[in-house]
């Protein structure tokens, strides 16, 4: 491949040792730069040394083959971008030139570093060149490409181009290695190359940041964010936008997008976008109305979603928060509920109305006395309002419970009764049944006057007995049926099919079964008076 040409050895050696002495004096000079964080110093970053084929400048080591200290070797005559010399290297399908430096402090796995350099492409370098390329590798020997830290891709710029690279080793690396490489379609007889100069004097550690965010509640400025810096060395400078804050932790923020720029003591910055989200807490209420008037057994059951669990609940503003979502024993009225999540987001559910039924009342107690001496046909009729229908009725201490509002078949005496509604609310009352002291019989008047004066306007039976199978019939002069009733309480009003019947004599017949089970029949004549 390449062979080293002869030169005046003494001149070369004097120049070499002169340059090396200058570099050593520079290194041991008491005026040294102080490195911060895990910044790693690069020795001879400008690649200054004697121009020579197959030789790299002082402090740099050859990894493989024969990289050159340029310019002037194998057709490369480009002027250095910094100082006088730089390094050129080639790569082919069977030829790999590498060079590097053992670092004073290893690159640490997981840390982030940045450094810069100038690079260019030489279209002719001993042979035909396809393109420029540069790979930067880390490892634990001078020619170990154990960790690919950065690759340039194919480039063709023949002018010096400044590159700023950021690397993150996957392993601890003692050596930093430079080498071109082949990529894409390049004939096997051709090569890639790279010229490198003006390396930054330090590989600077980039701060790594972890951001913890507390979202803001909807329509509130209670979001917060805290930045934790890993790696590097402080003090750190923080710049937030928007807001122009300069602290690692800031609060009272609305939801939205922010950018934080963290700059370490070595001047290296890192930016990160921070998104403060929005907690949206939603709450709904289920109401249970009071079952009875003035019973104070209403309830509100709350449910919540969104935000951060657990949720706390409060009823009305003057009460504290509890972690029970059920509020019971509530009187009828209007309530305002509050729900608070673990992030202190608050939502209100107002004007919740607990209702109660109207008061259950017995409006009227109507007793019906026992009609004669030997019967037990007294009754009590109740009129009820309010509560929650339907109602049931019972005489306390007696069975059964009934749905009829009339208690029948009662003997004389005082009775205490209870009315219960559909919600098991109840009201109690009293009534008394008396006995009429008279014989048990059925009587019919002999005359009536249906003139609307409220006296004797109907012809009907006067019943002082417990009768059944009752029938009352009234006939005209020629035996025609004029009126018929099977209800003792319904009497004749002196009309027939809407026509007013004339005054005069009529015949009646009544049949029934009395309280002793005997079939009875009575007939007679009545007088209609006009």
* pLDDT value at residue 495: 96
Q: Which one, of 82, 81, 22, 87, lies nearest residue 53 by Cα?
A: 87
Q: Which one, of 63, 101, 59, 70, lies nearest residue 180 by Cα?
A: 63
* Intervals of the chain under pLDDT 70: 1-37, 184-185, 187-189
* pLDDT value at residue 188: 61
Q: Which residues of 490-529 are buried (b: 16+ CB within 10 A; e: fewer)?
A: ebbbbeeeeeebeeeebebebebebbeeeebeeeeebebe
Could you tell me the two tokens for 252?
């009272």
* pLDDT value at residue 3: 40
**Domains of the chain from N-terminus onward:** 9-205 (2.60.120.260), 207-279 (2.60.40.10), 282-354 (2.60.40), 361-433 (2.60.40.1080), 441-528 (2.60.40.1220)
Cα torsion 399, 400, 406, 410: sign: negative
What is the dihedral angle through the alpha carbons of 387, 389, 393, 396, rounded to the nearest 10 degrees? -30
Instruction: Assess contact for 116 and 200: CB atoms under 8 A.
Output: yes
* pLDDT value at residue 184: 67
Cα torsion 117, 123, 127, 131: sign: positive
- Bridge partners of 119? 161, 196
pLDDT digits (tens, 9 = 90+) for 422-461: 999 999 999 999 998 999 999 999 999 999 999 999 999 9
The residues, ordered by sequence, that sit 6+ positions from 10 with a Cβ below 8 Å of its Cβ are none
- Tell me the Cα Rg of the chain: 57
* pLDDT value at residue 190: 83
């Amino acid at each position: 491949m390449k062979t080293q040409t002869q030169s005046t050895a003494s001149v070369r050696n004097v120049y070499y040792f002169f340059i090396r002495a200058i570099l050593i004096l520079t290194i041991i000079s008491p005026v040294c730069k102080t490195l911060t964080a895990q910044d790693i110093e690069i020795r001879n970053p400008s690649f200054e040394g004697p121009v020579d084929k197959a030789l790299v400048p002082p402090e740099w080591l050859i990894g493989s083959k024969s990289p050159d200290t340029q310019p002037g070797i194998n057709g490369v005559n480009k002027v250095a971008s910094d100082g006088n010399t730089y390094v050129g290297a080639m790569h082919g399908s069977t030829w790999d030139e590498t060079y590097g430096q053992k670092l004073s402090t290893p690159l640490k796995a997981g840390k982030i570093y940045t450094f810069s350099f100038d690079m260019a492409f030489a279209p002719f370098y001993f042979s035909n060149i396809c393109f420029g390329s540069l790979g930067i590798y880390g490892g634990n020997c001078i020619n170990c490409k154990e960790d690919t830290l950065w690759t340039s891709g194919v480039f063709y710029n023949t002018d010096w181009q400044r590159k700023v690279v950021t690397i993150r080793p996957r392993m601890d690396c003692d050596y930093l290695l430079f080498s071109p490489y082949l990529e894409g379609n390049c004939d096997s007889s051709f090569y890639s190359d790279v010229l490198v100069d003006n390396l930054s004097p330090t590989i600077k550690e980039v701060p790594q940041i972890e951001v913890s965010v507390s979202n803001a509640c909807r329509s509130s400025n209670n979001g917060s964010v805290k930045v934790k810096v890993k790696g590097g060395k402080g003090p750190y400078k923080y710049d937030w936008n928007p807001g122009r804050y300069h602290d690692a932790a800031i609060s009272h923020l609305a939801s939205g997008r922010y950018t934080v720029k963290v700059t370490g003591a070595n001047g290296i910055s890192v930016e990160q976008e921070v998104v403060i989200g929005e907690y949206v807490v939603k709450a709904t209420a289920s109401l249970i109305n009071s079952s009875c008037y003035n019973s104070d057994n209403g309830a509100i059951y709350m449910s919540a979603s969104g935000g951060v669990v657990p949720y706390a609940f409060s009823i009305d503003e003057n009460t504290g928060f509890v972690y029970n979502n059920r509020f019971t024993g509530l009187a009828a009225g209007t309530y305002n509920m509050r729900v608070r999540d673990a992030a202190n987001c608050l939502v209100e559910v107002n004007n919740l109305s607990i209702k109660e039924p109207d008061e259950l009342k017995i409006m009227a107690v109507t007793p019906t006395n026992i009609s004669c001496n030997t019967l037990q046909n007294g009754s009590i009729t109740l009129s009820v309002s309010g509560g929650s229908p339907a109602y049931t009725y019972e005489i306390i201490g007696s069975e059964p419970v009934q749905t009829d509002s009339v208690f029948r078949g009662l003997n004389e005496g005082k009775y205490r009764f209870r009315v219960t509604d559909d919600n098991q609310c109840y009201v109690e009352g009293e009534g008394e049944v008396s006995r009429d002291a008279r014989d048990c019989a059925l009587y019919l008047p002999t005359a009536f006057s249906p003139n609307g004066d409220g006296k004797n306007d109907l012809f009907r039976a006067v019943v002082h007995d417990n009768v059944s199978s009752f029938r009352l019939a009234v006939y005209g002069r020629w035996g025609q049926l004029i009126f018929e009733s099977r209800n003792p309480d319904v009497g004749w009003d002196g009309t027939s099919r809407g026509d007013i019947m004339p005054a005069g004599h009529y015949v009646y017949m009544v049949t029934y079964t009395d309280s002793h089970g005997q079939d009875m029949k009575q007939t007679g004549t009545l007088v209609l008076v006009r």
